[in-house]
Amino acid sequence: MKNGVPKINFFYSPIYDFLLTEYEGKHFHKKQKKEVENYIRRLQILWQKVNKPILRFLLKIFKNNWSEKEITCYIVKYFRLSGISHPLTIKMTRNLEEAIINLVHELIHVFLPLEKWRRISQNLVKRFPNERPEIILHIYTDFIQLQALKKFFGKAATKKMLKKYKKFKRTGRAWKIVLREENNLRKLFKVDLTN
């Protein structure tokens, strides 16, 4: 899609939600479908306010000529992760803004071109030779997410999310590196953050 941005279609799949609910050891109840569908309606309203600038920002950073007109994003009630990129899935959160921020993180994974990632990862492995591949990946994705947080969500939301992210068992280390090395990483990644 050359001049536009893809449309994010929030979607509820009862069987997918049921499977993840059962996987998490929770009970799937009859009201869950309606609860998630109501959540999607509220999330869609908030997303419509920010979607184009955020998506343009991400696509510009990645120099990505995204060709798909639509991207499906599944919403589920229970999941131990805040989201995953394939299939694009976001867990319900009490705070809709937090769900949008989680979506932004997963979209970074979706939009990141493989060739670009290969070049960046080589530089990151040289710079951080003792880090696990998952941390190497998240140094880059978290750096991009930090730039989006600062640009679109303000100081209070950024501070709140960073406090939460640094505690993550699997990727909290990447966030700590990003916060400590932000200026050096900006030079390493050669990211253009201008409008």
CA 92 to the chain's CA centroid: 14
Same domain for 153 and 76? no
The per-residue pLDDT for 146 is: 92
pLDDT value for 115 = 86
Question: What's the confidence (pLDDT) of residue 86?
Answer: 94
Burial label, 13 (beta-carbon count in 10 A; 0-12, 13-18, 19+): middle
Q: Are 132 and 106 within one domain?
A: no
The separation between the first and the last C-alpha atoms of the chain, rounded to the nearest angstrom, is 19
Residue 104's identity, in one-letter code, is: V
The verdict on residue 180 lying in a domain is yes
Structure pTM?
0.89
- Where among 111, 127, 162 does a domain terminate? 111
Query: Do 107 and 118 belong together in one domain?
Result: no
Task: Indicate the length of the chain as a whole number.
Answer: 195
Please give the structure tokens belonging to residue 104: 């932004």
Domain-terminating residue out of 111, 141, 165: 111
Q: What is the pLDDT of residue 64?
A: 72
Q: What is the pLDDT of residue 159?
A: 82
- Structurally, the chain folds into a number of domains equal to 2
2 assigned to some structural domain:
no
Considering the domain architecture, whether residues 105 and 43 belong to the same structural domain is answered as: yes
What is the pLDDT at residue 3? 58
Q: CA-to-CA distance for 8 and 52, rounded, in angstroms?
A: 10
Is the residue at 195 inside a domain? no
Decide if 1 is inside a domain: no
Domain presence at residue 70: yes
Distances (CA, A) of 58 to 94, 173, 195: 25, 23, 11
* Under-50 pLDDT residues of the chain: 195
One domain for residues 75 and 97: yes
User: Residue 166 has what pLDDT?
Assistant: 74
The domain boundary, picked from 44, 78, 111, lies at 111
Q: Which of 167, 177, 169 is closest to 141 using CA atoms?
A: 177
Per-residue confidence (pLDDT) for residue 76, from 0 to 100: 97
Judgement on whether residues 144 and 128 belong to the same structural domain of the protein = yes
Domain enclosing residue 102, as ranges = 7-111
pLDDT at 191: 65
pLDDT value of position 128 = 94
